[in-house]
Chains A and B, each alone.
Chain A
Amino acid sequence: MSKKSAIWIMRDLQRCSGCRLCEIACSLYHEGKIWPEASRIRVFKLVPGLEFPHFCTQCHDYPCVNACPVNALSVNEATGAVIVDKEKCTACGKCIDACPGRIPHLHPNGKYILICDLCDGDPQCVKICQRAKYNVLWIVPRSGVEKQCRLYARTPEEITEELAENIYGKFKEVYK
């Protein structure tokens, strides 16, 4: 197996069509089923027209990994992804609170936390987004963007508010 180099999924949230092909690809790969709430990448739609995919940004200092009290989270050196040890995880939620974007969430089975594992270097969400020519997600080398990754770790409310500014402009207040 060739040595992988760390990657990052570049994201252009404003282009998101809300189609959820990424969610479907993710849950099929990880769960073998179409399972929206068990997908590691989740498309939020707090306001229609402002859909966006919400998933791990791999912050350079990995606050979630540091916050885990039972060492259930680790970093895959090759890909840069956060890996969840399902056996060790107690679903305490400390990683959610540590994440600046509150991105990790509980598997619907209630047993462990879900965090994007970059599909071991070959992210399924990016493949389908590219195949469908939406170009919201694409892969870049992690070196060079490393210190900016965490800028994208924002809560769904924050992202919605900012996209509203851009897409609906001064009319965003009308429908609150």
Chain B
Amino acid sequence: MKSRGYNGKFLEVDLSREKIKVLDLEEELLEHYVGGRGVAVKFLWDRLGAEWEKVDPLGPENLLVIAAGPLTGYYPGGRICISGKSPQSNGIIGSTVGGEFGVDLRCAGYDGIIISGASKDPVYLFIKDEDVEIRDASHLWGLDGKKTLVRLTKECRDELKRRYPRFGEWKDPSILYIGPAGENLTRVAVVMEKWTHAAGYGGYGAVMGSKMLKAIVAKGSGPLPDVYDPVKTFSLINRVYDLCIARDGMRRWGTGSAGYSVGYSLSSEPIRNWQEEWHDEKSFGVDRFERKVWVKRYWGDYGCPTTCLKIAVVKTGPYAGAITDNPDYELQAYLGTNLGIFTPEGNVYVSSVIDDLGICGINGGNVLGFAGELYQRGILTKDDLDGLELKWGDPKAFAKLAEMIAYRKGIGDILAEGTFRAALKLGEMKGRDLMPYVVQVKGTGVGAHGIRSKMDYPTPIAYACSVQGGDHTSVARLPIHSSGSELIRIMCDSAVICIFNFYPDPSLIWKFYEAVTGYHQTAEKWANGDGLRILQIQRAVLLLGGPDFTWDPRIHDDNPLRFYEPLPSGPYKGQAADRKEVEDLKRQYYEAVGWDENGIPKSEVLRKLGLESVDKALEKVRERYK
């Protein structure tokens, strides 16, 4: 029986052999792994698990999985999940991005795409319903993000008009693409959609680049797949509309008010590479963004009644011509305060440059901040930086360094490896330990929400115990079935919905899921069953790691060292993460998710979940820490 809410099909594209086929999905897979992150995790484990440690994330043996979920297109606010073996964590990260791509793909008849192998020459993938082609992209290779997108949109739309002349005007197809950072295999490269929309965590832009895949274009002309209970589904859609429409502040400002408020009222915003987390810079208030740079106040993705994004343009001054969306809080923080930049224009400018290069705002901002602190401390000099004076608050200097990273020029070649790997290399070169300045967990930069003030949502173990490392959208939290826990975020990323439209009533996702698919789930059932199974596989591959680095949970299930330094300013001055508290919470968390004292999933827990192959693979990890 065909599962409701799904097409039940994935595209399988082998770029080495230039072969394309359609994979029919089994109902059992959909019932237990849902879609998005869950299905990606299952595919990756089944196909790469046996030799996980040997798989080079940037080798042709890695897979890029692009997966929509059953709620993509139905739950208001369209998103899709990108995954694979992560060049940042060497595990699996489910990285979601908003836009229309997921809806177009589902309307073309597929729930996802698995890309294997690697092309010899630059290519892009073109999908129009059942017509799927691998095409030459040599004319696009090397182009920045915005140019890639605008050109490819025009090219493909013109072609649709030529091919189907009686149809009339074709809407633009949806496009996922990479910028130069992805082409040059930087571990901070993103997969992008529209302007500034990025699947950031994970570094999957580099995986696309390693496959010489510049873009994926999708145009679907069918309806979304049928649902199990249409009446309930459409009444739930209306319920989410009402809840979201009522949130005026979120709609008006998006997260763009947080660049000021998270620093000022929560004391948890990264400032100059997290040396501080508090500021009272009113020049960075949301009102300034509104008046000076926002030219579109409400901008959103498919079916979204919140439209928390905004279009920002700098029209005058040294940064004139910079175009980006919002910037949202993460980019205000990481490409603003974290670099000592406190003006909307400077922030929009660095964001715009980062977009064009295809670098992750968070992980890129993290490594830029790291370099900034090394310069401040005299560890990196002007000579090391090819003459660049990397002073806090100078947007042009940080933009220049971002460009060096994207093109791997000079020191950019080392920084392109991401903060953690760069710190190892630079530490070796400089003959000193640079880990005190590294704010990341398991290869992934920590999101812009600190833990020291205890005012923000992440708990002391939020990042330390997450299977996605520093990812602020997937944090460890107890109890494991609570709406902010990693287990529940796995559901959000598997059904593939936007967490901003999930917050207003977290109970709706289960009702929605049942109305669309007919499968019954509750938060408790999920967190102890299907959700936990996905978490265990993610944990297992994170511990298996390789080939360049393997995490030791006894050392790496921890916060960045900086979080143990007392906050130097603001109302929570003196506060820091507490080692004993972190250890206590860690034990409790391990217990709750079924991990042993070393943080390795217990044999009996895995077997109860039917994960015998995972259990077997972890035997050598258990042996390692005996």
Structural contact, A155 and B169, CB atoms closer than 8 A:
yes
List 19 A–B pairs whose Cβ atoms lie within 8 Å, in order of A's numbering: A17-B307, A20-B100, A24-B303, A32-B230, A34-B224, A37-B220, A45-B172, A48-B194, A48-B325, A54-B169, A91-B166, A93-B166, A106-B168, A128-B241, A132-B241, A155-B169, A167-B313, A168-B313, A171-B315
8 Å CB contacts to B: which residues of A1-35? 15, 17-21, 24, 27-28, 31-35
Check B593 for interface membership: any CB of A closer than 8 A.
Answer: no
Contact code string B192-235 (vs A, CB < 8 Å = 1, else 0): 00110000000000000000000000001111101000100010
Structural contact, B169 and A105, CB atoms closer than 8 A:
yes
Structural contact, A46 and B107, CB atoms closer than 8 A:
no
Structural contact, B221 and A171, CB atoms closer than 8 A:
no
Residues of A within 8 A of B103 (CB): 36
Structural contact, A17 and B299, CB atoms closer than 8 A:
yes
Residues of A within 8 A of B157 (CB): 46
A31 and B221 alpha carbons, distance in the complex (Å): 14
Interface size on A, residues (CB 8 A): 51
Check B134 for interface membership: any CB of A closer than 8 A.
Answer: no
Point out the residue from B100, B295, B303, B311 that lies within 8 Å of A21, measured CB to CB. Answer: B303
A171 and B195 alpha carbons, distance in the complex (Å): 15
Check A100 for interface membership: any CB of B closer than 8 A.
Answer: no
Say yes or no: A19-B307 contact (C-beta < 8 A), given A37-B107, A106-B167, A175-B147. Answer: yes
Structural contact, B73 and A46, CB atoms closer than 8 A:
no
Knowing that A48-B195, A103-B168, A168-B323 are A-B contacts, what are 13 other residue pairs whose CB atoms are under 8 Å apart, sorted by A's residue number? A17-B298, A18-B300, A18-B301, A21-B305, A34-B224, A35-B222, A44-B169, A44-B172, A45-B194, A49-B296, A49-B311, A134-B298, A171-B321
A133 and B306 alpha carbons, distance in the complex (Å): 10
Taking the closest CB of chain B, its distance from the CB of A112, in whole angstroms, is 11
Q: Taking CB as reference atom, which chain B residue is nearest A24? A: B303
Q: Taking CB as reference atom, which chain A residue is nearest B324? A: A49
Which A-B residue pairs are the 7 nearest by beta carbons?
A105-B168, A35-B223, A17-B298, A33-B223, A108-B221, A175-B146, A49-B311
Check B388 for interface membership: any CB of A closer than 8 A.
Answer: no
Q: Taking CB as reference atom, which chain A residue is nearest B106? A: A34
Structural contact, A19 and B300, CB atoms closer than 8 A:
yes
Residues of A within 8 A of B153 (CB): 46-47
Structural contact, B245 and A174, CB atoms closer than 8 A:
no
8 Å CB contacts to B: which residues of A86-108? 91-93, 96, 102-106, 108
A91 and B164 alpha carbons, distance in the complex (Å): 12
A171 and B315 alpha carbons, distance in the complex (Å): 8
A133 and B172 alpha carbons, distance in the complex (Å): 26
Structural contact, A133 and B245, CB atoms closer than 8 A:
yes
Say yes or no: A49-B323 contact (C-beta < 8 A), given A17-B300, A37-B221. Answer: yes
Q: Taking CB as reference atom, which chain A residue is nearest B219? A: A37
Taking the closest CB of chain B, its distance from the CB of A139, in whole angstroms, is 19
Residues of A within 8 A of B303 (CB): 19-21, 24, 34
Q: Specify which of A24, A42, A106 lies most central, judged by the most chain B CB atoms within 10 Å of its CB.
A: A24
Check A169 for interface membership: any CB of B closer than 8 A.
Answer: yes
Structural contact, B302 and A20, CB atoms closer than 8 A:
yes
Q: Taking CB as reference atom, which chain A residue is nearest B129? A: A108
Residues of A within 8 A of B241 (CB): 21, 128, 131-132
8 Å CB contacts to A: which residues of B139-153? 146-147, 149-150, 153
A58 and B408 alpha carbons, distance in the complex (Å): 56
Point out the residue from B172, B226, B230, B295 that lies within 8 Å of A167, measured CB to CB. Answer: B295
Check A84 for interface membership: any CB of B closer than 8 A.
Answer: no
Check A137 for interface membership: any CB of B closer than 8 A.
Answer: no
A33 and B325 alpha carbons, distance in the complex (Å): 31
Structural contact, A104 and B168, CB atoms closer than 8 A:
yes
Check B165 for interface membership: any CB of A closer than 8 A.
Answer: yes
A45 and B103 alpha carbons, distance in the complex (Å): 15
Structural contact, A48 and B223, CB atoms closer than 8 A:
no
Check A38 for interface membership: any CB of B closer than 8 A.
Answer: yes
Say yes or no: A175-B304 contact (C-beta < 8 A), given A105-B169, A131-B241, A168-B323. Answer: no
Check A156 for interface membership: any CB of B closer than 8 A.
Answer: yes
Q: Specify which of A46, A49, A106 lies most central, judged by the most chain B CB atoms within 10 Å of its CB.
A: A49
Q: Taking CB as reference atom, which chain B residue is nearest A135? A: B298
Say yes or no: A106-B323 contact (C-beta < 8 A), given A46-B172, A175-B150. Answer: no
Residues of B within 8 A of A175 (CB): 146-147, 150, 323
Q: Taking CB as reference atom, which chain B residue is nearest A54? A: B169
Check B2 for interface membership: any CB of A closer than 8 A.
Answer: no
Point out the residue from B223, B230, B299 that lies within 8 Å of A49, measured CB to CB. Answer: B299
